[in-house]
Amino acid sequence: MIIEESLRRISSEPHEDFYQVLTPEGELLIPIDGMIDNSLAVGMYRHMVYARTFDRKCISLQRQGRMGTYAPFEGQEAAQIGSVLALSDDDWMFPSYREHAATVTRGQPLQTVIRYWKGRLDGGVGYREKHILPPSVPIATHLLHAVGAAWASRIRHEAAVSIAYFGDGATSEGDFHESLNFAGVNRLPVIFLCQNNGYAISVPFNKQSSSRTIAQRASAYDIEGIRVDGNDVFGVYMAVSEARKRALEGQGPTLVEAVTFRYGAHTTADDPKKYRDQEELLAKWRKRDPIHRLRRFLEREDLWDERQESQLAADCTEQIDQAISEVLSLPPEQPEAMFEHVYAEAPWHIAEQREELNRILRKDGMQS
């Protein structure tokens, strides 16, 4: 198979030991015929532009005080969108808190994502129709859930895989290793998709691990490991497609390390200038931008032009503004809602906390 052979290829750049299909200049390193057609390539571009536009809108909303703390993903669009487009409708998706580009591309309404970051209970849900689980904030715990779902798919003889999204910081958690071990022992149909953006909040990868790569950790569990250019949407798509194919053939799990970079802060409560040379790193990584490289390719193939670009920008703005307007027009969430949906009958300490909150709200005139 061409893809199996090419997955062993590495970038021509000696310092970048990863699988790459589309260079930062928008040139193909290997043929993509039969794997990515023109329609899919254009669709990838549309999804990435849409995702970047709503990501920037959400940061703006947070700065205006109309949204809570938000986790931006600009720079990581290819890792998220390339991977999710390689899935089928029957597959199961387990996101962490930064995968809004992936979940929206799979079909989750943008309104749900905005509700989540506004702190509304109705935003903290998954999307059953598309097999998307709720976003997981505890680091790496959802990898175990993905392994469990993959085991269930195996027992039910379903042609479905589970994919878990996480960052490089999660690979230092015990749950990561337990998940890979159990999935490896039982050869489960699961894909572990690590977006290695170089920083676990403020901790650079070389300060949390002596491993040169994350993908190499797969060998400890005798499972497949792939290190791919995470800013190359073609490369990510083909790597995850191959991992999915192997999983459905009973060849077990794959650890995919997508090497990428978040341009901005870990969350809007963070300041990356405190722990890294933001100007120098941005200058370096913007030369590898996932959207710009795909646009160069599309223009070279006469699949994209300025007129389409202008229309796409207008369409994205209109759709995103409409979604934001719908959510902002909702009545405000009641603070007492935080106590609901956990216990059928609240234990004494929760009841006390709820009563204390109610006293404060009544004192401040926020409750009748």
Question: Which is more confident, 14 or 212?
Answer: 212
Mean pLDDT for 99-123 is: 95
Mean pLDDT for 292-308 is: 98
What pLDDT is stored for residue 121 in this prediction? Answer: 87
In DSSP terms, which residues pair with 229 in a beta bridge?
259
Q: What is the pTM of this model?
A: 0.92
What pLDDT is stored for residue 313 in this prediction? Answer: 98
What pLDDT is stored for residue 8 in this prediction? Answer: 47
pLDDT digits (tens, 9 = 90+) for 131-171: 999 999 999 999 999 999 999 999 999 999 999 999 999 99
323 and 56 Cβ atoms separated by less than 8 Å: no
Q: Where are the beta strands (DSSP E) in the chain?
A: 92-94, 162-167, 190-196, 199-200, 203-204, 224-229, 254-259
What pLDDT is stored for residue 205 in this prediction? Answer: 93
With CA atoms as reference, report the closest residue to 303 among 43, 120, 4, 123: 43
CA–CA dist 65, 59 (Å, integer): 10
**DSSP letter string over 33-62?**
TTTS-HHHHHHHHHHHHHHHHHHHHHHHHH
Residue found by looking up tokens 């749900």 in the block: 112
Residue 221 has pLDDT above 60, yes or no: yes
Pairing label, strands 199-200, 254-259:
unpaired
Residue found by looking up tokens 């719908």 in the block: 326
What pLDDT is stored for residue 367 in this prediction? Answer: 62
Active-site amino acid positions: 262, 266, 275
Mean pLDDT for 50-66 is: 97
Residue 366 has pLDDT above 70, yes or no: no
What pLDDT is stored for residue 15 in this prediction? Answer: 45
